[in-house]
Structure 1
């Protein structure tokens, strides 16, 4: 599995003036609808349900929200870079500006866990995060996410 298996160029956005987690989830869901034909209301509900179990902000400005949704066949991802960091309730209390959301079939087990490990490993790399923060072109962001050896699952 590679990030290119989870993302498409249309699943990458740069968002301005996102002021709440609720608005961020709406933007993630809208992007998932446009890029992967995932029902946006199901996506929002699933993201909020998962977030109620504990924050998905993993630290250093990165959040990895994820949800299981009925009706999709494989794990799909959406990436948003925020122009202004958002208070997300992350484990390190740092605001978030890099968000990679995963949407998995309800019954996905190992595939979902591999995808989470892959995106976590990728966005733990300070060099990749620095490049993502330095670019605002969605095509360049897609290339950055998909070009590194870290973006392949074991």
Structure 2
């Protein structure tokens, strides 16, 4: 699986005016709802927020992977948001988060959900990948980098 296949150009944004974790999750919900017609922005936001209440999806090193399973989702779908300035996210290393990769999967896709999260964790644990993502100047560059990342490379 290529993580880039979960994204589309309209769901990759570089944003400068997000001031909080809540606002970042709202934006991600809006981005995802445009691709998931059976779900509203509010339903997606509520799912992402509910998952955050169980424990922060911040990985550390400025990255978070908010995610949720929703009955109205017909397929796995993702959105990528790169912030100009990181926001407080309750990450384990207490660093502000500036890269958020949101994932929504159908309610019954437990195995696929876990496989995608594992791939994302591996991708975002690579310091070189993070540096390249942070150095990009626009959404198309971000999408290109994610699509080029080889998810089949040995761990």
Shift of residue 5, structure 1, vs aligned partner? 2.3
How many residue pairs get aligned? The number is 154
1:101 is aligned to 102
Structure 1 gap segments, 5+ residues each: none
SS of 1:17's equivalent in the other structure is: coil
Secondary structure class of the residue paired with 1:92: coil
Q: Which residue of 2 aligns with 1:34?
A: 34
Consecutive unaligned residues in structure 2, runs of 5 or more: none
Match of 1:83 in 2: 84
C-alpha deviation, 1:36, in angstroms: 4.2
Contact in 2 for aligned 1:74/1:104 (Cα 8 Å): yes
- What are the residue-to-residue correspondences of 1:45-56 with 2, within 5 Å? 45-56=46-57
Larger deviation, residues 66-75 vs 83-92: 66-75
Structure 1 residues 104, 60: CA separation in 2 closer, same or farther (over 3 Å shift)? same
Aligned-residue Cα RMSD (Å) equals 1.7
Instruction: Give me the TM-score of the superposition, normalised by structure 1.
Output: 0.93
With normalisation by structure 2, the TM-score equals 0.93
The reply on whether 1:61 has 2:43 as its aligned counterpart is: no
**Stretch deviating more after TM superposition (82-91 or 13-22):** 13-22
